[in-house]
Structure 1
Amino acid sequence: MSTKPTSTPEASSTSDSDGGNETPPLRVNRTKVGIRARPAPDGDMALTHPQLYFNREISTLQFHIRVLEQALDDAHPILNRVMFLLIFSSNLDEFFEIRVAGLKQALLIDEHAHSRDGQTYQQTLNEISDIAHEHVARQYQILNDVLIPALEQENVRFLRRSRWTKAQKDWVSDYFYREIQPVISPIGLDPSHPFPRLVNKSLNFIVELEGSDAFGRSGGLAIIPAPRSLPRLIRFPEAISGNGSVDYAFLSSMIHAHADALFPGMTIKGCYQFRLTRNADLSVNPEEVSDLASALKGELLARRYGDGVRLEIANNCPAHLADFLLNQFGLMDQDLYLVDGPVNLSRMMAVINDTHRSDLLYGPFVPGLPKPLKHRRGSYFDAVAQDDILLHHPYQSFAPVEHWLKEAASDPNVLAIKQTLYRTGPHSEIVSALADAARNGKEVTVVIELRARFDEADNIELASRLQEAGANVIYGMMDFKIHAKLMHMVRREQGELRHYAHLGTGNYHATTAKLYTDYSLLTADHKLCRDVHLIFQQIAGMGQPRQTHYLLHAPFTLHSTLIELIDREIEHVKRGCKGYILFKCNSLTEPRLIQALYRASQAGIECDLIIRSTCCLRPGVEGVSDNIRVRSIVGRFLEHTRVYYFRNANRPQLWCGSADAMERNMFHRVESCFPVLNQKLARQIKKDMDTYLLDNCQSWQLCADGHYERSTPSGDEEAISAQETLLYAYALKR
């Protein structure tokens, strides 16, 4: 695929860089999404053979494509479809900032290096480029040919400047001179004004000029950086739009329409928007750091100016300007993406709430509560002391976790609270409760992971806030991210100390708890709570790994125990029992776990894997993985639960945890994985998992050749959406 623009007569200051060239009609294919097909390998091979593994980066990219497909699914309300398209854009940004940037760095170290599937890093980058170019073009086709027309039918309009009425043009002109021009600083390029250092993912314009300026300098090129303080989408006043429509103009259109005002007396030959994506991964050398928080503050500034990895330009930009920008950023042709619309689509997310059209979004629902909490009269401690309580978010409310902590903060009998925080949000009720507890004289210890990607700045601020309140704040360890989701409380009851704990699969984040599927366990089980206490001691102090009764924890016992549980299932089958394994997690990449699952399949064990995103295991290979089925659920909520289930000779064991089946989680993070000891609750989770396996509306099956094929009801088969089924089962819709 050619990515280079061509110079055309239309590529001038009169062209609308919000979208230029004609595109072919969109071909919608909703049943099969994937990558370059690869034949299934011969089953007679070693389990370490490269052909038995899918490329991690390509598999991750496939997940983003499945998200994009939701934008075409009319089962979602129209604004939710827009949201999926914008999430695809945001996901792709991070994919380039982290994954592609990492591959480019690895190439500099060893150009012959390759991944587990046998591809060299350069081959992977080439394939990423092919797939990304295809689907970025498709993304803009969906936006321009499907979503914008559908929104227009609902009187929500994105107006290019060629469609502005005279009243709208006048209003834009006033807005430009009042709100935009005073904060814009164009930069002419000449020997005394070299090319500026542009911030990662910022909106910019390259302008070609003719004529002479006030100092006699002849025209050439200039750069207009759009200040990040300016909204990328501006809503017209209702009086200007009329007919009850909600109309928007893009900031880029406003700047294009008035670019000549920024260069008085000169002629603009062309003005074209562009955006540079940079390497945004943080790098902190533990041998050179004495204060992690201070080191991260410096790295956060550096993140904005990392090496370039992708250049997006309006598709009507002439080739010579595109070449100029590529040379400035040290990029190749395959790093160039020509787009038919705004280069910074994720900033359109503002339209979701700004339109005030709730009828174009999913209707609200009231999260449910488990029976022990529905008609609670007394203390949360009393309810948890009676029996374990399980919450399934977002179908059930996250509020009990917050309320329990708030109660603990003011309870005079609570002596100590310990908690991990990975992502929690800048205005967290959880953090407020912990600060109140510290002010109330309780021993509060908070383990904050400062390196939670893209939340580093918020976490540094929260750490300072907790320290000011008197809490003991621990930043974790240099070599291991603290990713476990744990809370531990000690309470004096009838003269003795009693332990309580919350263990979860998701973050202590009230907002994402409404969007992500996760499990929360509230427990007073003595041995389980003791295990949580031991993990906190291990994180905060020093010494050898502590022996836990029930809890598995990375990087020590989680990986080895999961393999032991798989091998135990194989032994049960050898003795004549029926085996079964079910995993549900976000990603599966760790090779020894994959090999253990291959051995289980070869032993005749049926394996169901519900893997939302990246999966390197190749299912359906005869003699190797023909008993393994892999599916991905993509729908209204982000699947985030981690569940590991083993039939165990009809004595089932079910585990939930914070860890995905990835190398980083197993060996480079502190993770927790807890057994659900209450069999009633374990059966409830297994029933939820069975619902996912019945899904034929939002489920994608991974095929042996690497493609994902969407499940659809056949014949008279009942249509089942797992998320809708669980929503009706747990929550009250209104």
Structure 2
Amino acid sequence: MPTASHQRYFNRELSWLQFNHRVMEEARNKRVPLLERLRFLSISASNLDEFYMVRVAGLRTQMLAGMNAPSFDGLTPERQLDKIAKRVDDLITAQEKCWVSIRSELATRKISVLTVSDLDDQALSELQTRFDAQILPLLSPLSVDPAHPFPFLSNLSLGLVASLAHKTEADEQAFALVPIPSHLPRFLQLSAGTKKREYLQIEDVIAYFLPSLFPDFDMRNHGLFRITRDSDIAIDEEAEDLVRHFEFLLKERRRGRVIRLELNEGIETELRDFLVENFECWDEDIQEAKFLGMVDLKGLIDNGRNDLLFPPFQARFPERIRDYDGDHFAAIAAKDILVHHPYEEFDVVIQFLRQAARDPDVVVIKQTLYRTSDDSPIVRALIDAAESGKSVTALVELQARFDEASNLRFARDLERAGVQVVYGLLGFKTHAKVSLVIRREGERLQTYTHLGTGNYHALNAKIYTDLALFTADPVIGADVGKLFNFVTSSSRPRDLAKLSLAPHGLRDRLFEQIDAEIDNAKAGRPSGIWAKLNALVDKGVIDKLYEASQAGVPIELVVRGICCLRPGVKGLSETIRVKSIVGRFLEHSRVVAFGNGHALPSQNAKLFMSSADWMPRNLDRRIETLVPIESATVHDQVLDQIMVANLMDNENSWDLQPNGKYARRKASEDEEPFSAHKYFMDNPSLSGRGHALKTSRPKDLPDPPRVPVKSVDPSAGD
């Protein structure tokens, strides 16, 4: 049995880079419409930016602090950074090749990205007029000399750098910067309103007119640069005023050190040295590329060419709620409802809270807010409820990365309306997605609960696949009440009947269920574990799954992103298969099923949905939920429909090999091509069908096939 750490686990950071490579590969997938391929390329670049802002910055900080402790896979921070640099170089090369290919294909579809040298005299004259009127007033050319110190440039700034020689004093030389304002479009459209769409990159336009910005100087050389700053936030757990502390930290984050400097390919040495010295990034990642800031490629997408996008998709509204004339409470009281986003509308969640806000019998609303949209209808409903006299509590998580500022703003708006706003527990992010409505019905108080795997974000719900359970189960309602009391009073929840919470109990519940499957396998009874996650990093969970595999438990894992577990290794994980789905929608729901003495899928299986990935931060440092699925219809929907479809998918799937590489899954000769995303767009969910279910059932799915993974000697490396 492999015992060395590098033989048992994949590195977290390198596994993430593998995931981002799969995202980029969708940009090369000919089955994907052309502009959607461009979107995938942009997303892969955006992902890489965040990776540097947080993960690489964290490793750099460890190095600066002299922290050399290895990760659980055996790599020191320095060794991880070395490996990351090599993988990132490969990724950037692949991204650039992909952009060249897509740019060529766009041209054949009459969408062209030109250079200024492609323009004739008339077009140049028109460009001069446009530059003078629309671009020049927004620019701030900056000389850098003893009288003008090097300016501060914010995170992800794109700009031009130039070396200059004074026209009348030849010995006087200078450097200058022209930051490109972020509100300027990266691609300037030349031919609006015509069938042919032509664009210029904004940096090319500014570079062409650069001499006119410095009339007293001759232009020697110029180049393009882009910076990425450390954007992680370290929380001071002794902070007395958390809100003011976060306001301070957000200002500090703008000034985080530069941890990546991107330069145009072939930039002159004097310009490179000038930037490196002034950004003080001698030891940081310095990358040369043909195109900087590929995240901006998304600016070419919304150009009216719908024929180059995915066909439009209309999400469904649960028909069972319509059976009750739109009365959410009556529909939920009759039977649990599971909403499957984005295939079913997020509006059902909004209407649930709006009805609660209007209903005179509703006395209490409690809500967690981790991420939500800028003009949030959820926040609006909570404000309306408070203004109508209801008791409303909002648990606003200030530590939601890159949403801290908007959450601070929401908190103030809610407080002004009379909402009781709390910020959770220091050291523990509240990542659970929960709404609790308490309604007076006769002589009793009835709870209505919404528990989700995703955020209360209307726009994300059109892209992310998530599950939202509505239940009137009073036991679940009581458990959720204890969750809110835990966060508002710091009193550890006791005697939870159905719900499991992190950091107290969720990990233990998982281990208990895995141990039960181990016992079943050892006793010769059927066993099995199916799980769908975004990330599998936690060493304890991985080791427990290895133990289950060695006992003979068949384990099927759908892990979209990071996976540190090695599947299919002889003597370690021979019964474990891992796949990743990357396609039109971002897989985000978390589900886990245990055979419970039966082969999966089975109506006897123990089934759960969760807000938590299997990562140390989720299990030990966040408030998370693990929710049992007990309604027979919802059980069928999640296990026999959602999980089976994910395991069957052979159009958007990648299989993780024991050596750490991913192989794109293809339908075999005796298989039909099958896309889980297309299946759910075409087939309504079970629990929301209401009376219509009697006459129109979704297409039945066969048992998912097992994908063979050849066991290998783990010493083969990653």
The TM-score normalised by the length of structure 2 is 0.92
Q: Distance in 2 between matches of 1:93 and 1:556?
A: 34
Q: Does 683-692 or 512-521 show the bigger shift?
A: 683-692
Q: What CA distance in whole angstroms lies between the structure 2 residues aligned with 1:714 and 1:377? A: 47
Counterpart of 1:252, as a letter, is: E
Shift of 1:376: 3.6
Structure 1 runs (4+) deviating above 4 angstroms are none
Counterpart code for 1:102: G
Q: Share of identical aligned residues, percent?
A: 39
**Bigger mean CA deviation after superposition, 413-422 or 709-718:** 709-718
Letter in 2 for 1:674: V
Answer yes or no: is the 8 Å Cα contact 1:431–1:466 preserved in 2: yes
Q: Secondary structure at the match of 1:573?
A: helix
* Count of residue correspondences: 681
Q: 1:273 aligns with which of 202, 224, 229?
A: 224
Specify which of 370, 376, 381 is matched with residue 329 of structure 2. Answer: 381
**Is residue 209–residue 267 contact of structure 1 (8 Å, CA) maintained in 2?**
yes
Indicate which of 396, 405, 414 corresponds to 1:448: 396
- The separation in 1 between residues aligned to 2:158 and 2:624, in whole angstroms, is 38
Shift in Å, 1:683: 1.8
Q: Does 1:94 align with 2:42?
A: no
Larger RCO, structure (CA 8 Å, separation 6 or more): 1
* Match of residue 246 from structure 1: 197
Other structure's SS at 1:631 match: strand
The answer to whether the aligner puts 1:352 opposite 2:293 as a matched pair is: no
SS at match of 1:576: coil
Residues 674-708 of structure 1 show CA distances to partners (whole Å, capped at 9, x for unaligned) of 00111221121112111111111111111111101
Aligned AA (1:281): D
1:258 is matched with 209
Residue type at the aligned position of 2:63? L
What is the rounded CA distance, in whole Å, between the counterparts of 2:109 and 2:156 in structure 1? 31
> What CA deviation, in whole Å up to 9, does each residue of 1:185-244 have, x standing for no partner?
22222222222222111111110112247x9981221111122232222222437xx5x2
**What displacement does 1:438 show?**
0.6
Specify the SS of the correspondent of 1:620: coil
State whether structure 2 residue 137 is matched by structure 1 residue 137.
Answer: no
* Alignment correspondent of 1:171: 126
Aligned counterpart, 1:683: 636
| Residues 591-648 of structure 1, C-alpha deviations (whole Å, 9 max, x = no match) | 1100000000000000011111001111111011010001100000000000011001
Q: Distance in 2 between matches of 1:179 and 1:299?
A: 35
Kindly provide the amino acid, as one letter, of the partner of residue 595 in structure 2.
Answer: R
Match of 1:475 in 2: 423
Matched AA of 1:337: Q
Residue 159 of structure 1 and its aligned partner are, at CA, apart by: 1.5
Distance 1:50 1:133 in 2: 23
Equivalents in 2 of 1:344, 1:116: separation in Å?
33
Contact 1:51 1:118 in 2 (8 A): no
Q: Which amino acid is the alignment partner of residue 267 of structure 1?
A: D
Secondary structure of the corresponding residue to residue 27 of structure 2: helix
Matches for 1:214-363 after TM superposition, within 5 Å = 218-238=172-192, 244-287=195-238, 289-332=239-282, 335-341=285-291, 343-353=292-302, 355-363=303-311
Q: Structure 1: give runs of 5+ residues left out of the alignment.
A: 1-43
Secondary structure, aligned partner of 1:366 = coil
Matched residue, 1:432 = 380
Q: Which residue of 2 aligns with 1:201?
A: 156
Deviation at 1:547, TM superposition (A): 2.0
**Offset of residue 555 of structure 1:** 0.4
Q: Distance in 2 between matches of 1:122 and 1:459?
A: 35
Q: Distance in 1 between matches of 2:187 and 2:409?
A: 29
State the SS of the aligned residue for 1:220.
Answer: strand
Per-residue deviation, residues 333-372 of structure 1 (Å, max 9, x unmatched): 771111112x22223323322x022221111122123441
Name the structure 1 match of 2:665.
711
Equivalent residue letter for 2:335? D
Find 2:624's aligned residue among 657, 662, 671: 671
Whole-Å Cα distance in 1 between the matches of residues 357 and 322 of structure 2? 22
**Bigger CA drift: 426-435 or 361-370?**
361-370
Alpha carbons 2:522, 2:552 under 8 Å: kept: no
Match runs of 1:247-646 below 5 Å: 247-287=198-238, 289-332=239-282, 335-341=285-291, 343-353=292-302, 355-646=303-594
Q: State the one-letter code of the partner of 2:176.
A: A
CA offsets 1:47-92 (integer angstroms, 9 cap, x no match): x734201000000111111000000001111111000000000000
Q: Distance in 2 between matches of 1:712 and 1:350?
A: 32
SS in structure 2 of the partner of residue 671 of structure 1: strand
Matched position secondary structure for 1:660: coil
In the alignment, which residue of structure 2 is the partner of 1:40?
none
Give 1:14's aligned residue: none
Superposed displacement of residue 397, structure 1: 1.4
C-alpha separation between the residues in 1 aligned to 2:198 and 2:415?
Answer: 47
What residue identity is the alignment partner of 2:334?
A: Q
CA separation in 2, counterparts of 1:446 and 1:305? 31
Are the counterparts in 1 of residues 370 and 431 from structure 2 also a CA contact under 8 Å? yes
Assess if the C-alpha contact under 8 Å between 1:93 and 1:277 holds in 2.
yes
Deviations 1:519-556 (A, max 9, x none): 00000001011101110111111323322100010000
Q: Is the 8 A contact 2:223 2:268 kept in 1?
A: no
Q: Counterparts of 1:315 and 1:136 in 2: how far apart (Å)? A: 12
Following superposition, the deviation at residue 104 of structure 1 comes to 0.5
CA deviations over 1:75-134 (Å, ceiling 9, x no partner): 111111000000000000000000000001011223532111111211110111111012
Aligned 8 A contact 1:67 1:84 in 2? yes
CA deviations 1:381-415 (Å, max 9, x no partner) are 11111110011111111111111110110100000
CA contact (8 A) 1:111 1:122 kept: no
Q: Aligned partners of 2:294 and 2:22: how far apart in 1?
A: 18
Contact 2:165 2:171 in 1 (8 A): no
Whether contact under 8 Å (1:538, 1:546) holds in the other structure is no
The match for 1:155 among 83, 89, 110 is: 110
